[in-house]
Amino acid sequence: MRGQRHLVYCRCVLPQFKSLPDPPKHQFVVFSVIDDDDNAVPKYAQCNNCGLVHKVVDICKSEILSKKESIASIISIDDIKTSLPPNLVDILERHNVEIATWEQAQHILENKEWGSFVTLTGEEEDGMRHGKYVRMMSESFFKIETFSRDSVVVLDEVKKDE
């Protein structure tokens, strides 16, 4: 099984956009586990703006649970902390990362995906994205590194044999 960070839409609007004639719907990041058949394992997630509970059913797809602002089966950062090494917990806490990043770090450790990383910070400047990530080299060795890359990624067209 592999993991994937992705966005889901909520019906809420961030306060700074409420005065716009057609304000954009809020999106928030979730982490999903993808099973061996390439399907996202359903899970519950809570909007980080309005608190509504979503049932995440696929990559970038969720169903809002009407009038639910809490559900006992939603994993919390405190739940995840108990399964991570103290030095990794310290790194994630210092960078004040969101729940999806905690879930991704837990997934990498549990599946021993050594060499994989989670992004700690990111910002855009002059068409470049700069940031910092922690690479997980083993169960107890974590390396913080920086990155710089183009903000826009252009994919080459894949040519198929006829």
pLDDT over threshold 70, residue 154: no
CB atoms within 10 A of CB 104: 23
Q: What is the pLDDT of residue 157?
A: 56
Please state, in angstroms and rounded to a whole number, the distance separating the CA atoms of residues 137 and 45: 29
pLDDT digits (tens, 9 = 90+) for 138-148: 999 999 999 99
- Residue 7 amino acid letter: L
Structural domain boundaries in the chain: 2-64, 77-150
Q: pTM to 2 decimals? A: 0.85
pLDDT digits (tens, 9 = 90+) for 42-86: 999 999 998 899 999 999 999 998 766 678 889 999 999 999 999
Lookup result for tokens 């599946």: 111
Pick the residue with more confidence: 31 or 15?
A: 31
pLDDT digits (tens, 9 = 90+) for 78-119: 999 999 999 999 999 999 999 999 999 999 999 999 999 999
